[in-house]
Every structure is written in structure tokens, then in C-alpha cells.
Amino acid sequence: MGRLKLQSGIKAIEEEPEECESTSSNKAALACMINSEVGAVLAVMRRNVRWGGRYMSGDDQLEHSLIQSLKALRKQIFSWQHQWHTINPAVYLQPFLDVIRSDETGAPITGVALSSVYKILTLDILCLNTVNVEDAMHLVVDAVTSCRFEVTDPASEELVLMKILQVLLACMKSKVSVMLSNQHVCTIVNTCFRIVHQAATKSELLQRIARHAMHELVRCIFSHLPDVGNTEHALVNRGSSVKLEGIGHDTEYSFGNKQLENGNGGSEYDGQPSSVGFASNSSTGLVASVLDENTIGAGNGKEATPYDLHLMTEPYGVPCMVEIFHFLCSLLNVVEHMEMGPRSNAIAFDEDVPLFALGLINSAIELGGPSIRRHPRLLSLIQDELFRNLMQFGLSMSPLILSMVCSIVLNLYQHLRTELKLQLEAFFSCVILRLAQSRYGASYQQQEVAMEALVDFCRQKTFMVEMYANLDCDITCSNVFEDLANLLSKSAFPVNCPLSAMHILALDGLIAVIQGMAERIGNGSLGSEQSPVNLEEYTPFWMVKCDNYSDPSVWVPFVCRRKYIKRRLMIGADHFNRDPKKGLEFLQGTHLLPEKLDPQSVACFFRYTAGLDKNLVGDFLGNHDEFCVQVLHEFAGTFDFQDMNLDTALRLFLETFRLPGESQKIQRVLEAFSERYYEQSPQILANKDAALLLSYSLIMLNTDQHNVQVKKKMTEDDFIRNNRHINGGNDLPRDFLTELYHSICKNEIRTTPEQGSGFPEMTPSRWIDLMHKSKKTAQFIVADSRAFLDHDMFAIMSGPTIAAISVVFDHAEHEEVYQTCIDGFLAVAKISACHHLEDVLDDLVVSLCKFTTLLNPSSVEEPVLAFGDDSKARMATVTVFTIANRYGDYIRTGWRNILDCILRLHKLGLLPARVASDAADDSELSADPGQGKPITNSLSSAHMPSIGTPRRSSGLMGRFSQLLSLDTEEPRSQPTEQQLAAHQRTLQTIQKCHIDSIFTESKFLQSDSLLQLARALIWAAGRPQKGNSSPEDEDTAVFCLELLIAITLNNRDRIKLLWQGVYEHISNIVHSTVMPCALVEKAVFGLLRICQRLLPYKENLADELLRSLQLVLKLDARVADAYCEQITQEVSRLVKANATHIRSQMGWRTITSLLSITARHPEASEAGFDALLFIMSDGAHLLPANYVLCVDAARQFAESRVGQAERSVRALDLMSGSVVCLSQWAREAKEAMAEEEISKMYQDIGEMWLRLVQGLRKVCLDQREEVRNHALVSLQRCLSGVEGFQLPHSLWLQCFDMVIFTMLDDLLDIAQGHSQKDYRNMEGTLSLAMKLLSKVFLQLLNELAQLTTFCKLWLGVLSRMEKYMKVKVKGKRTEKLPELVPELLKNTLLVMKARGVLVQRSALGGDSLWELTWLHANNIAPSLQSEVFPDLQGLEQKKDETGKSLVSDETGSAPSNETVA
């Protein structure tokens, strides 16, 4: 407790240094603490014989200086009056540090002194305000790093080493660590590493602690990097090489076992303690005997310029971090030189050191993070040295090392990817893609680690997008995104083996990529808006540049264009490999090469296009043709050989094509190479000829060394001898040639490079090339969270992805794997829909439908229970319908598969009740609750029992309850608990599917999708067959038809889109059905229902809809008969609801045809007449368009003997009542129309009226007396009710000829020819007919008298009267007519006389009318003339002549239809 208080007191002092009045208790407490530490050190010293007593020096009795200084400190501490921070820390630290430095003290004493220093450091006595704190810290570091002590036993030695680590770590962690200089920090790390190295021969615990301390140190130092200013201090010129004092090369291995000093292994235990120095005077070298040049701070040649001394003494910052990082990287370089100490119990050494070094590097990168890019020297270490080593260790056999390498690369990707574009490409191509596939010989563990790493990368949301944008869309880089996506999908495929963790891992990666895309969708900028790339004209493809890599509106089109070029180049390469000439022509056609080929463009095509046949390229470049030679020189010009060794340059050059076999070709190729090499790296070579000769020499050496047929190999001296005097007459430096010789011997130049297949190995020459390229490569594009390129990326990976997820789903057996797959499927669906990739969505639906098990022909006893037990099938089913509901807009052919699933559920009786009817009724806003009922009721009889189910019952609950009650014919056992549970699961699954909403919500589907859905329904229903189809097929057809009608009704606004298909389907059903059945019933009533519902909304389609009803007229007689009544009710309903919407004659013709048919049908006629009544009563819905049709229909009802005569009478009333409409129309026309239109309208009205009276004429011949007589009355009403409009005279003549006279004649025939049994009381009818004739004639007398053919008409009237006068009914003369006719005639003659029509004229040629009249009248009643004209005499004499002349006059008269104005 005291110590805690003490600490808080110290902190108070620190925080308020200006307050000099500090409590005396705090001062006292610190003084006590230091006093106790002094006491502890002295106590341990006294236990040792050497320090325990006094010893003499001359006469004086003196104490040893170490003890003296400690005692002196004791005296002072309590007398200090000032604040602690004003006291120089060296005063109270120095005595302890002296003990630590002394080589006379034993390990226990040194240990206690170290503990004391540790305590002082950790109690925060020192703060930045303390006087001389900087010097004090330097003293501590110097003392501890040069600690010396006697070793008495191994345990105490290890303890001291641990304490040294503890103190050094405390120095770095204390607040005043910022005062340490770069050099001191390097020294601390150096010392620490030496302890780590020494610990290899010590206990496991020390090893662990030492390594942990090293980690902590690195973390401490690099966590300081973000705070370091961005000031790169001046570097010393490359020439100077100041060695840092205490950090230079050192061959003395000055800690470690004392055996190094006295060669006596046992000496430490036999009472002759030997001394272990922890560092010689000025040196703190690393394990120098082993790590020759790898001391921190050692400048190694051209790679690192050492910092000058001044910088190393400044407060620590970037210089020490560069030195430490360089040292850590160099640890990786020297692994192969390391040897183990004799007592090592470390982990296998080839794994141990790199793991340790990589761990430290990882910590440094984690903490330095993005700040590293502000410091070019640190950055270049990572770009080159570190990454080169990572590439090498990435292929290590040790999974631990590989795992650590992958972690480092992931960290580098996170923090520094913009600076590491080509390095990352190399890592994925040469490490991950090689290891993750077994064909390159990687162990299963390596594959797994590589795959885990790849999946970690995939989980970075922008990783794949950045790979695609930066590498796949760059012509000089490989298609990393594509390769990784293919790798993941292939690795997820279990081929002839069960599903393993590796497959699931790869699947996780794939799904992470897909879900990343799906998440980006909501963030705007879908790539589908990108316009397609099209190259209109030639521009050098290798020169395409982007102006702004941070603005998506600039870089996205640029990247898409680059990818387009790259794809075209690949196609060009393919053509080139088959026929070089055609390949170049193809590229000219796509504007990637100019119309007139130039050497540069062809050279760049060869240089930057992957996949070219290197043999063909070599032949082309070696050709003696002038153009080919120019291409060769341009080709060589594309290489950058700056600062490269000749053999490295030659390797790179010959990797790009195969060196031809003929010597002239080789000569030409090497000439071009030498020229380029000399141009860029002339350091040693005198001229390009020297380069050429040396290159030739290297090729020959290569053949000599690596060709098995050469038995006697060239020695180094031979090689040097061969190359004498080639450098402008002088010799080349021997060490230069020696280096070349060994390089070629050790590493063959492959003159037959591998043909671009597989993933390359990273050779040193390739790495050098990569570093050159990285200086020139395009800037790294950083992707954000918007979906700029997802459309193109997804198009590349969608096929393999769906296949992979499907295969895993198929093989999987665990719920969580199912769920992972389902998440993947839904993400794929979302992306496909949002990027409008309909084909992909269709493929996905097809794939998923297979897993629902609903498409498999069911061999299962009880498929419903099987489905309930199969969670995979249930999940797939829910997913299919989720996709259909969410993304239906983009489904096309997939609807067929979805419908197959729905039909299967329908057959199993699992669909919710009335999916189809609900779908249709959803939008129905009908006031009539009974609407549609008859159809559904009649359909229920058509539900056939389906396979595997005991009995059909509609609806989910119906099906379930039926299972519970199991009311089947044969008794069954009660269902088990499991069966009930399976059933419950099935029902829940189907409820989750919301199948009905596919149809009820179809109004929101896009047009293309809706059309495909309708087509799928028609396809699923199958083509109707003549004759009997199986009940099950019919059930399916009915169900599909219901759904089809439902979506038609739901999409009335888009009926045009669907109508053709729906109509043709219904038409096929109608034409192919010969017997009543549920299907034809559904078709007919569905059609009527569509018309009912759509007529109010679609006036422009009214005709087409009504024309479709003609199908009903084409029904087979038996079918029509069966449904006639219901059809009529529906038509009646349709008419009542929509009469105002039916405008055209064609539409009315269909309606009236349907109604007319019913007139003779016992059940249907009532409803039919009801509809007609609705149309014609009071002319409510009569129009010029439907007048004639309605009159005709009414006539058919009037003539029909079905039903009571009273109905016929009502029909006649309808007919006669319709005259009112004609008058009204005539009146309206007069008021509203122009002259021409009026005459046209009158003509039309006249024709309608004529049709009306003709219709009535037919009914006048009816067998039923009351009907016949009523028809006559109605006819009379119609003939006399025409005052409202003017009928042309010609029409009246027609009317007399075709209606009145014909009727009179027909009635006469009937009266004379038929038995009284058929036609009762004909006499009354004849009387009525006569009266009608007389009345109509008189009514029209004035108009008719004007006509030239009046005589003929009048003759007709007279002759009919004469015939009726003499008629015999049943062979007897009638009673009434002989009285009636003369009466009527007399009346007529009187009127004619009164009106001046019948007058005796004494004109030339005689008065024919007069003569004619009396000729006939006298036959009827001889006394008439005297009664009518009592004052006329002497008529008889002339009778004969007049008769003759009249006859001749009649025959020569004008035709009866002549119009008289």
C-alpha cells in the first residue's frame, strides 16, 4: 500500500513541477525508497566474502569504491532540501550503475542493482523536467548494455540477463525515452537481440522472455513513428562511410558462454568463477561471427546510405527505425548461414529465426502503419528488401512461416497498398496462386494457409475491386482478380471426394467477394450506366493515360477502356498464335494497331500482350526482313536495363520470347539487345561490341554448362580466357567476369521460356525487373464503397460462382453450410438484378429449383413428409420464392422452373387455398359479392386426387387437417410425432414462400418479366389435346389458366402486352375441347371475366376484348349446351356493367349474337332476355351501332317458343318501342349536324327502321295467335309512329313491297294452307292485317299520291283487298272479312276523294287511276262507286277500254323504288 501512495505522490510532483512547496512526506518517501534500494544492494554484497570484510591497502583501512559510493549516497539523500526534479539523477543512479558495470561483482549483486535501477525507472521519478535527464538516460543505457558480472551458476546468469532486458524495456517505455538518441535505441535493440541469440543455449523460459522483450521493444519504437515529423534529415553522401561507434562490424562474440575465454567447460562450478563481459569497451556488435554484416547501422554497399554521426546522436526517430528495420530484413537474408549452438532446444532452426524476424517486422508494420509512406527510406526497404524476402519465405514448407508472411502482406495491403502495386501482384501470382493449388506440389497445410490468407483478403471489402481495377485492367499486369476468383470457385468444388474444410473455406472467400458487391449496390453508381467501350480510331494502346486517379468519373471509364483493350489484345494473341499475319490484321481491324503497321506498335504488341506463342515471336524478331529488324530494335527499346547486371538483363530479355536456333537470327537478336544494354548501362563496357561479344559468350557458357550432351564443362579460367581483349581491346575486370560465370553456372538462362501457362517463379532477375517497372507503373487506384466496376467483375465470376455454391450446397450436410450457401445465392440474385444480368439470374433460379426436390419425379411414398424432413430442400424452396418475389423483374426463362415448383406444390395440395383466385380477386372492387362464385364452385369438382396424397383438399389447413383425420377409404395408423412435425415444417416453409404474392404483385413486374411469366404459364399448361387427357394434366392446365387469368386481371394497364398470348391460349382450349370439362369452363368464364373487368378501363381495346368473346360462339355444341346458362349470366352481367363502354358495331354484334343464341335455350333464355331488356328498355343503351343487332335479337326472342308467349310479347314491345329512339336521333341530328350529315343520318335511320319493320313482319307469321296479333299491332305502331322523321318516298315503296304486301300474302298462304290446329283463329289475324293496310295507306296517302308509281301501289292495295274478300279458311269463307273489307275500301275511297287523289279527269289517254280503282272496287263491292260518287254517271260505257289501257299502263310504269322529289 505504501508503494502505491508513494507512486501517486511522485506523479503529483511531476504534474506540478512549478509548485516548489511540495510536501515533505513525498520527499521523505522517495528518499526512503532509494535508501532501501541502497540497503538491498549492500546486503547482497556483504554476503560475498570479497565484499564482506575490510581489506588493507598500505596503512589505511579502506572500503572498496563501489561500497563507498553507495554509502555516500545514503548520507546525502536525506539531506536534500530541493524538489526531486531539480536534483541531477546521475547522483542517485551512478552508484548502482557502477555496480552494474563492474566485472568484479557476481551475478546476484548485479541482479539486485539492476532491479534497483528498474524500480527507479518505473516509479516515474524521472520526468522531462528533471535536470540533466538526457544524460542520466544515456548513462543508464550505456551501463546496462555494457553490463559485466561473474557467472557463478547458470540460473543466476539467466536472471541477470532477464533483468537487463527488463531495465532496457523500462528505458524505452518510460516517459523520458524520447530523450534517447538514435544510437542508444540501436544499442538497446542490439543488446536485446544478443541476449535472444545467447538464450538459444539457455532455458526455454529465458528464450521466451528475451523474445517477448524484443517484440515489446520493436512495438515501443515503431509506435513512435506516427509522431515523428516528416523531416528526412540530410543523408551523408554515398561516398562517405562513417562507422557508428559501438555499432560497427565486430568479430568478438563477447557475451555467451565463458568457454570462449578459458576453454574449461566446468570452471564455472569448481570455485574458479570466470567473468562474463556483456560487451567489450566500445563494441556492442551483434552476433557478429554469424551475422557478418548484419549489425544494426551497418551500411551495406549501395542499398543503404548510412546516417551521419550527428543524426545518430539526436533524439531517436526515423534513422534508428530504418536501421532496425533494415537489420530485421537482413535477419531473413542470412537464414541459410545460421548454425545452431550446442545446447539448443529451440524449435527447428530453419523455421525459428525467420518466424521471429517476421513477427518483429509484422509488429513494426502494424504500429508504423500508414506513417511509413512519409519516410522514403523505410518505404523503399519494404518495397524491395522486405518484399523480396516475403516472396521467398512465402514458398517455405513451414505453414507457420507462410501464415506470418500472409499476415504481414495483409497489413501492408491495409496500410501501404498504393505503394506496393506490383509487389502485391507478384505475391498473389507467385505465392498464393501457386500454393493454393495442389498441382505445384504444395502440401495440404500450405494450401490451407494460402487459402485462409486469400479469404482474409477477400473479406477486405475493396480488395477484389482494387485488384481488378489496378491489375486486371492493366495490360502489363496479369489478371489477378480473374485468377483468384477462378481459384476460389475451383477450390470450392469437391471433385470425387467428400466436402472438406478447404472447400468451405474457398466458399467463404467467394461469398465474401459476392457479399461485398451486394453491399456496394446501395451506394449508387451502378456500373451498368457505363457506356460500352468502342475504339473509333488507332491510338497507341501502351500510351493510354489517366488524368485523374482520384476522380471516379475519370478513372472508371479509363479502366473500362483499358480492360477492353486488354481483352482485344488477348483475342489478337489467340489469332496471332494460329496465324501471325491474321492476328496483326485482326488488331488493325479493332484499331489497336495502325492501318499501316509501324515497328513500334508491333514491338509493343509483342512486349505487353500475355499469351503470345513465344516461338512465333522469336521467329518474327529474328527474321531478316527489314520491317522485322526494325520491330526487333523497337522491341529491345521497350526494356529498362538501367543499373542492371548483364546476365540479369539478358535473362529478362530472353524470357519474353524463344531465342531462334539459327546463328544469323541469334546474331540479330543479340545485336539489338547489346545496343540497348550499352545505351543504358555503359559502366564497365567500352562499347556496344563489347556488350555483344560478352552476351554471345554468356549464351555459349549457358549452353556449355546446362546441356547434358556437353561432357567437358568450361571452367572459370576458360571463360575468362575466352573473353580477353573484348572490351575495346582491353580485358574486362576479372571479378566482373567471375561473378557472371558463377551466376550462369548456378542459374541457367532459359532460352525456351515456359509458355505463359501456370504461375511464374520469382527469380532474382525478375525481381530486379519488377523494381524497375514499379517506378514507372500507373498509380494505384484506391476503390471506394461504390459499385463502379462490379458489373464487369460479376459478369466474369458469376458462372463459376453459382456452380461452386451449388455444388457445395449439394454436397453439404450441415445447417450452417446450407445457410452460407443460401446467403451466397441471395447475394448473387441481388447483384444480378441490380446490374440487369438476367441470364445470370435465370441460371441461378434453374440451379436452385433443382435443390427444392420439387422437380424430381417423386418416388417417395409420402412426398410431403419427405419434404418436411429435408431442410436443404425447404431452404432452397424458400430462397427460390424469395428471389422470385424480390427480383422477379429480372427473371426471364427462370419463370418456367419456378412454375414447375409451384405446380408440384399444387399437385401435392400444399399451396395456400385459392392462390390463383386470391391473386385475381385482390384487385377486384366489385359491388356484387357473388361475382365469380359459380366458376369456383363448379371447378371444385375438377380437382382430381393427385399421386401420393390420399385425397385432394384445397388449402394448407385443409390438407393438414385431412392428414390428421386421415379420412381415406382404407384405415391407416395415426401419424407419428415425427410425421406431424415434418408436416408442420412443410406448412411453415410454404407460408414463408409467399407464393401468392408473385401473382398478386405481378402488376409491379417489369414488362419483359411479366411477358415471360405469362408465357411460362402457357407453356406449363401444355397444349390442349383433342380427346381425353389425364385428369392430372387437366388439373395442371386449369391451375395454370387460373394464374394466367389472375395476372391478366392484375395487369389491366398492360393488357396489350399479355392479351395476344392469353387469347391464343384460350382459343386453343376452346377449339380443341369437344366435351364439357373444367378446363374449357375455366377458359370461357375467365375470358368473360377479363372482359367484364377490363372494358371500363380499356376503351381502345374494347373491340378486341369483345371480339374474343366470339370464341364462345365457336364452342362445341355439347360444351356450349352445358354452360349456356352460366355464360349468359356472365354476358348479362358484362352488359349491365359495361353497356356504356361498348361503342362499336362489331362489339355489339358479338354481344347480341351471344344473347340471340340463348333465345332457344330453356335455361339460358331468361338471363339472355334480361340482358336484352336492359339494353332496349326505353332505348336506354340503344345506339345507331347496335340498333339493328338488338332489334334482330329481340325478334329472335319474340319468335322463340321457349318460355311463355308473354315474353315474346315483351320482346315485340321492345321492338316497337325502339322507334322512339329513331325519332330522337333524327331530332338530334337536325339540331346538331350539317346538311350532308343530316341526309346521311336520315338515310341510316331509314334503313334501321326498315330492318325493324321487316323483323316485325316475320313475327307476324308466328303460330301463336297472341304473338302474331301483337306483332301486327306492333308493326302498325312502327309504321304509323314515324312522324318524328322524314322517310324518303322510295323507302315507303320498299316498305309496302317488302313488308306490308309480303306479310299480307304470307298470311293469306298460311290461312289457306295450314290446319287450324297449327294456326288458331287466323281470321282475326287477317282482319287485323287488313286494318293495318288501310290505316297505313291512308296515313301516307298525301306523300304516296305524289309518286309516279302510285297507280301500281294502289293496284297492290286493291288486289290484296280483293283476295282477302274471297279468302277461305279451312275451306270455308270467313264471316268477318267480307264485311270488313268493303267497309275499309269505302273509307279509303272517301278519303282519297276528299283529298283530291281520286278524281275523274278527262285528260288525253284516259284517266287510268280512276278506271283502275273502279275495275277492282266493283269486284269487291259493286255499290261502292255510287256510294262514294253519287253524282257521277255513265261510267260503265268506257269500262272495257279503260281496263285494257290500264293494264298496258301498269306494265310500262317506272320501277317501284324510284324516288320522286
Q: Which residues pair with 730 in a beta bridge?
A: 727
Q: State yes or no: pLDDT of 26 exceeds 90.
A: no
pLDDT of residue 866: 87
pLDDT of residue 1100: 80
The answer to whether 248 touches 295, Cβ cutoff 8 Å, is: yes
Q: State yes or no: pLDDT of 571 exceeds 90.
A: yes
Window from 149-153, 774-778, 868-872, 1171-1175 with minimum mean pLDDT = 149-153
pLDDT one-digit tens code per residue, 983-1021 = 899 999 999 999 989 998 888 999 999 999 999 999 998
Q: State yes or no: pLDDT of 696 exceeds 70.
A: yes
- 662 catalytic? Reply is yes
Q: State yes or no: pLDDT of 553 exceeds 80.
A: yes
pLDDT of residue 945: 34
pLDDT of residue 1423: 83
Give me 718's grid cell: 576458360
pLDDT of residue 886: 93
pLDDT one-digit tens code per residue, 881-920 = 999 999 999 999 999 999 999 998 888 888 877 676 555 5
pLDDT one-digit tens code per residue, 954-963 = 444 444 444 4
Q: State yes or no: pLDDT of 482 exceeds 60.
A: yes
pLDDT of residue 485: 95
pLDDT one-digit tens code per residue, 744-753 = 999 888 877 6
Neighbours of 1414 (CB within 10 A): 25
Rg (CA), the chain: 57
Q: What is the mean pLDDT of residues 566-581?
A: 93
Q: Which residues pair with 1016 in a beta bridge?
A: none
Higher pLDDT: 1091 or 1456? It is: 1091
Q: What is the mean pLDDT of residues 845-864?
A: 82
Q: Residues 6 or more apart from 631 whose CB is under 8 A from it? A: 599, 602, 603, 606, 620, 621
Q: State yes or no: pLDDT of 413 exceeds 90.
A: yes
Q: State yes or no: pLDDT of 1449 exceeds 90.
A: no
pLDDT one-digit tens code per residue, 615-634 = 999 999 999 999 999 999 99
Q: State yes or no: pLDDT of 1461 exceeds 80.
A: no
Q: State yes or no: pLDDT of 839 exceeds 70.
A: yes
In angstroms, how far is the first alpha carbon of the chain from the final one?
139
Q: State yes or no: pLDDT of 782 exceeds 80.
A: yes
pLDDT of residue 916: 62
pLDDT one-digit tens code per residue, 784-811 = 888 889 999 999 999 999 999 999 999 9
pLDDT of residue 23: 47
At 1113, is the pLDDT very low, low, confident or very high (cuts 50, 70, 90)? confident
Q: What are phi and psi of 1322, to 5 degrees?
A: -70, -25
Q: What is the mean pLDDT of residues 1195-1207?
A: 88
Q: What is the mean pLDDT of residues 95-102?
A: 92
pLDDT of residue 860: 65
Q: What is the mean pLDDT of residues 455-466?
A: 95
Tell me the DSSP string of 394-441.
HT-S-HHHHHHHHHHHHHHHHHHGGG-HHHHHHHIIIIIHHHTSGGGT
Q: Residue 927 burial (CB < 10 Å; 0-12/13-18/19+)?
A: exposed
Q: State yes or no: pLDDT of 514 exceeds 50.
A: yes
Q: Which residues pair with 727 in a beta bridge?
A: 730
Going by their DSSP bridges, the two strands 148-151 and 60-62 should be labelled as: unpaired
Q: State yes or no: pLDDT of 265 exceeds 50.
A: no
Q: State yes or no: pLDDT of 18 exceeds 50.
A: no
Spatial separation of the C-alpha atoms in residues 12 and 30, rounded to whole Å: 13
* CA distances in angstroms from 486 to 382, 423, 481, 803, listed in the order given: 30, 21, 8, 11
What residue has cell string 483493350? Answer: 565
Give me 446's grid cell: 500450405
Q: State yes or no: pLDDT of 486 exceeds 60.
A: yes
pLDDT of residue 276: 45
pLDDT one-digit tens code per residue, 1338-1371 = 888 888 888 888 888 888 998 888 888 888 877 7
At 48, is the pLDDT very low, low, confident or very high (cuts 50, 70, 90)? confident
* CA distances in angstroms from 1302 to 633, 1251, 1258, listed in the order given: 112, 14, 10
Q: State yes or no: pLDDT of 1316 exceeds 70.
A: no
Q: State yes or no: pLDDT of 243 exceeds 70.
A: no
What residue has cell string 450506366? Answer: 529
Q: State yes or no: pLDDT of 288 exceeds 90.
A: no
pLDDT of residue 414: 94
The whole-chain average pLDDT of the chain stands at 81
pLDDT of residue 299: 41
At 1407, is the pLDDT very low, low, confident or very high (cuts 50, 70, 90)? low
Amino acid at 2: G
pLDDT of residue 914: 64
pLDDT of residue 84: 81
Q: What is the mean pLDDT of residues 675-701?
A: 89
Q: State yes or no: pLDDT of 822 exceeds 50.
A: yes
pLDDT of residue 335: 52
Q: Which of 19, 252, 662, 1206 is catalytic?
A: 662
pLDDT of residue 306: 60
The answer to whether 383 touches 774, Cβ cutoff 8 Å, is: yes
Q: State yes or no: pLDDT of 238 exceeds 70.
A: no
The answer to whether 1050 touches 1039, Cβ cutoff 8 Å, is: no
